[in-house]
Amino acid sequence: MITSEHFRALFDPRGIVVAGASTHPGKFGFVALHNILSCGFEGDVFATNRERAEVLGRTTVADLTEIPHGKADLVFVCTPAASNHEVLRQAAAVGIKAAFIASAGYGESGEAGLELQRELVELANELKMMIVGPNGQGLVSTPSSLCAQIVAPYPPAGSIGIASQSGNFVSSFMNLSRQSGVGISRAISVGNAAQVGILDMLEYFADDPKTSVGLVYVEGISNGREFADRLENVCRRMPVVLLKGGSSGLGAKAAASHTGSLATDDRVFDGLCRQVGATRASSISEAFDIAAAFATLPAPRGPRLAVVTTVGGWGVLAADAISATNLDLVELPPDLRNTLDGLLPPRWSRNNPIDLAGGETKDTVPAVLNAVVGHGDIDSTLVLGMGIQSNQGRLEREGPFYPGHGLDRIVAFHDRQDSRYAEVALAASSAAGKPVLIASELAVGDPNNAAVAAVRSTGHYCFPSAERAVVALHGLYEREVWLASLGTPGDGGR
């Protein structure tokens, strides 16, 4: 009964109504209208207020019956639960197809609320409306510059689609998006998921040309088989990164069985993710890392990984991280080793990780990166040590001697070099169609660092550490392995 037209109304509405707009800046009905008006939504915006009070300088109407038919197709509901049946009826009467219900007082509040929630769904079905929530924080849709939520932030545009059973996780992911510059297409908190839930959103994302990867926080799963089957269908079309909280188990398992005690909820969920081709993450930051990698990098063709580092220690730790995965820190092919011999002083590591040992000159790093990334026996490249020069440049720029003593020129040179290294690495990535991951704690420590800024300006993600980059790349690689398994004759489906 839910159609693509409902999702169009939800994420790309021509007009939107805030039901229950408030003059009090602390109320949801104020914040929702504020956020919609502040982030560039170009469609019509209406608001209802029982007293017709002016809110944020805009006139309001007493109820939805006063809104011209067909001008709005989404209503953002902040009215008390008791009023919402009437709000939905009026909304349907003026041609509204979708409602986001932020109001609380439903299933989360006990038996009476649950009954009210059931009635709300029945009414929505009868009116042929889609309702999201209740008790949700809202939605974001960057293709429509829509920030219909009672929380912040509004993220940059991109191709990550977020769906969450907890609104706060949507905020968490979008905060990381804003910090890193890797953007969001759609984001939605499904609240109590009374009529539509996470999987409905994922299925829409899989069809949505603006979305390339799903990023999901899930807590409760009621129908496990349906969940697994629908998730697999989505994963065949689009990568999905899952963060799971809480326990899915509803009861104790059969006590007579040894295997039963081994089949913990966590292991069941873990296994199901591997089976259906979803990438499970263990933390908010890891989930975002992996989603950002899917959104910005080409898929690796194989496990062979090269690490290029300006200093030894980082490469050692990266190698440790790689050894915990199915990625392969390959031995350098002889011809590549010969090429690098010609570019670097004799003290370079002559192995993988490729430790430049401080031997780089102005043009060495670009030449090394091009040689490594472009080599036929290397599937992915991890680059460490970007931003060191401009980090020193920052200290000099902020110090008491700047700009004298030639500091202005050297600082500008450092910044240019680091920008160039990052740009070369990512250009080599595009040219070869292979992932190149740049990792530096400066991504968090100094997002304005020239290398970090250059990565961000090309739409890429600067990973905050080598270990996190390796985990993300492993996620990309494992998805490729899973996709390949679907093509195995006679082994193409469950």
Partner 1 sequence: MSRTLSESDSKLILRDCGVPFLPEVLVSEVEQVEDALLRMAGPYAVKLCGENISHKSERGLVRLGVNGVDAVKQACRELLSAARPEDEATGVLVAPMATGLREFIAGVSVDPVFGPTIVFGLGGVLAEAIADATVRLAPIRRYDALDMLSSLRSRSLLGPFRGEPAVNREAMADLLCSLSEAATSISGLRSIDLNPVMIVGGAPVALDALIEIEDAEVEL
Q: How many CB atoms are located within 10 Å of the residue 246 CB? A: 12
Binder to partner 1 among 118, 128, 274, 347 (CB under 8 A)?
274
CA distance 8 to 42: 15
Count of residues in the chain: 494
What DSSP letter does each residue of 130-181 carry, written as one string?
A: EEE-SS--EEEEGGGTEEEESS--PPPEEEEEEEESSHHHHHHHHHHHHHH-
Q: How far is the CB of 257 from partner 1 (least distance, A)?
A: 4
The answer to whether 1 contacts partner 1 (rule: CB under 8 A) is: no
Q: Mask 299-338, x = binds partner 1 (CB under 8 A)?
A: ---------------------------x------------
Only one of the segments 215-223, 341-349, 409-417, 459-467 lies at the binding site for partner 1 (rule: CB under 8 A); that segment is 215-223
**Integer Cα distance of 90 and 102 in angstroms:** 17
Per-residue contact track with partner 1, 438 to 467, x per CB under 8 A?
------------------------------
Amino acid type, 433: G
Q: Name which of 251 and 404 has its Cβ closer to partner 1.
A: 251
Task: Report the SS3 class of residue 94.
Answer: coil
Q: Which of 1, 42, 209, 256 binds partner 1 (CB under 8 A)?
A: 256
487 binds partner 1 (CB under 8 A): no
Q: Which of 40, 68, 224, 345 binds partner 1 (CB under 8 A)?
A: 224
270 binds partner 1 per the rule CB under 8 A: yes
Rounded Cα–Cα distance for residues 61 and 172 (Å): 34
Q: Find out whether the peptide bond into 353 is cis, omega within 30 degrees of 0.
A: yes
Does 257 participate in binding partner 1 (rule CB under 8 A)?
yes
Using the contact rule CB under 8 A, the part of the chain among 121-129, 245-253, 380-388, 460-468 near partner 1 is 245-253
Among 23, 125, 179, 248, binds partner 1 (CB under 8 A): 248
Q: Is the peptide bond before 435 cis (omega within 30 degrees of 0)?
A: no
The SS3 of residue 281 is: strand
Q: Can you say whether residue 401 is alpha, beta or left, with left for phi > 0 and alpha for psi between -120 and 50 degrees?
A: alpha
Q: Would you count residue 399 as binding partner 1 (CB under 8 A)? A: no
Cis? peptide before 333, omega within 30° of 0: no
The answer to whether residue 259 forms part of the interface with partner 1 (CB under 8 A) is: yes
Q: Which is nearer to partner 1, 263 or 317 (CB)?
A: 263
Q: Which amino acid is at 76?
A: F
Q: Which residues bind partner 1 (CB under 8 A)?
A: 221-225, 228, 248-251, 253-254, 256-260, 262-265, 267-268, 270-272, 274-275, 326, 482, 485, 488, 491, 493-494
